[in-house]
Amino acid sequence: MLLHPKGSLRKMFSSATAASYYGGVIKTRPLSAFDLRHSTSSSNKASRHVIPLKARSFTQSSLGGCSGSGDQEIVIAMGSNVGDRVSTFDRALQMMKTSGVNVTRHACLYETAPAYVTDQPRFLNSAVRGTTRLGPHELLKKLKEIEKDIGRTGGIRYGPRPIDLDILLYGNSQITTETLIVPHERIHERPFVLAPLVDLLSTSADDAIETSWHSLSKSKGIKRVLPIGNCLLDWSDRSLIMGILNLTPDSFSDGGKFQPVEAAIAQAKLLISEGADIIDIGAQSTRPFARRLSPHEELERLVPVLDEVTKIPEMEGRLLSVDTFYAEVATEAVKRGVHMINDVSGGQLDPRILKVAAELGVPYVIMHMRGDPSTMQSEKNLQYGDVCKEVASELYKMLREAELSGIPLWRIVIDPGIGFSKKTGHNLEIIKGLESIRREIGKMSIGASHVPILLGPSRKSFLGEICNRTNPVERDVVTAIAVADGIINGANIVRVHNVGYSADAVKYCSASRKGRRLNDLVE
């Protein structure tokens, strides 16, 4: 049967083994139905080291009704610590999809310390949720075939492996046979499984388990990561700086300055020297009422600069992003060395870009905007009741379209779209309300509420309005203030023209955060 999406995973959870963590010691016990409803409500009163988990014990059951009698909702765990772990996950996902598994949700991506056998490389772990018409043993057979095709052979138990695929949950079924136990019998003792499993919950509105889990995970050496280029970014460590390189003659801030290739290269070097982690190159102006270029026109501006930027030694260890909403431009840019797609329309202006981003296997930034640059500031598109709530809802809708198009959650970044379909008051509310946006998204998907947030207030007109600065270049100081405000409220990546000023803001916020952590430890 196909379970109702909001309650399904909780029902599946209720078939798993219960556990509570006391300072790292696992105590297993069965929970009653009353416990399942109320175990998390008492967690606020408990020590911050006590992590209650919803579940109940299970017994052997027959497989009646489990085989092929309609769509079954399933959860599959993924792990890898040998070879190119990210590419292995991509390959496993594709093979699952062609083997009868319809993937509908992805958890975040976690890098974790090895368990049981500790003398081996660190693992990447995640999980996917989906549906299948395969019976449980048919599904198990398909997963084992995928493992074999990818290169998994025999080895020591819990030892290194290129891929590990486990059935965690299969509908509401409780299965105990010689070859398969579902729910997976070791869920309760594996933080690297619990973290992705919690991400797959549809809502956190009535559930303190997510808050409790992520408090525990900090002490377990687990971190969420964003695979980009040849590295895994831990965006919780510090906020990243994305430097803007405009190749347009009509940009609101620096139009025409960097159209010549030599000028663009000099600017890229300057941004890097000032501390940019990512260079975001755009050849299409998205200021209000800008004329839309064709993909061909955009590429004519972009390609000569891209070809030269990728050659400069200063790019070593830095990342390239392309600011485009065209699938054709994104494809060409990634072929020429770009690591990330930054789409101001979130797939609304060229829906083909979603499939392209999925196939290219690069991070995809979904920005909130209503309409397009020619209509975004219309009276209709500026109407909000609760701006943070509505932006969160609209961003989540775009995120789901991207995920269902094949972009895993671990490659998605969201941007609330400062200055796009927003008035001054809206922009200020969003910067102050980034955590509110996360909470609203968390009511629809816990995992989605934990993707990185990109914030782009740089030199925007609302800052000029506040500070009476008509010249955009004169807004760099207030931009740095807005950046600091955004980071304090939860921004993970900041997109700016003047990297130097904003780098200082990032350093200050990082030092302030570390100071608070030290104070917490002392207390």
Write out the catalytic residue numbers.
Answer: 460, 495
Q: How far apart are the first and last CA of the chain?
A: 51
Cis peptide before 351 (omega within 30 of 0): no
Sign of CA dihedral 453, 454, 459, 465: negative
Q: CA–CA separation, 338 vs 309, rounded Å?
A: 10
Q: In what order do the strands lie in the sheet with 19-22?
A: 25-28, 19-22, 50-52
Which residues make beta-bridge pairs with 25? 22
SS3 state of residue 487 = helix
Which residues make beta-bridge pairs with 256? none
What phi and psi, each to the nearest 5 degrees, are found at residue 435? -65, -35
Q: CA–CA separation, 319 vs 228, rounded Å?
A: 8
Tokens of residue 449, six digits: 């509420």
Greatest Cα-to-Cα distance within the chain, rounded to the nearest angstrom: 74
Return the H-helix or E-strand segment holding 73. strand 72-80
Instruction: Give the distance from CA 164 to its chain's centroid.
Output: 22
Q: CA–CA separation, 85 vs 112, rounded Å?
A: 12
SS3 state of residue 454 = strand
Closest CA to 514 of 241, 239, 318, 231: 239
How far, CA to CA in Å, does 147 sit from each of 96, 161, 230, 496? 10, 9, 23, 44
How far, CA to CA in Å, does 366 sit from each of 266, 329, 363, 460? 29, 16, 10, 19
Question: For the chain, what percentages of helix, strand and coil (3-state, to nearest 5) are there?
Answer: 40, 20, 40
Q: How many residues does the chain have?
A: 523
List, in sequence order, every beta strand (DSSP E) within 121-272: 123-132, 164-170, 175-176, 181-182, 223-224, 226-228, 231-233, 240-246
Q: CA–CA separation, 42 vs 46, rounded Å?
A: 7
Amino acid letter for position 358: A
Closest CA to 387 of 448, 428, 442: 428
What is residue 453's DSSP assignment?
A: B
Q: CA–CA separation, 99 vs 102, rounded Å?
A: 9
What is residue 475's DSSP assignment?
A: G
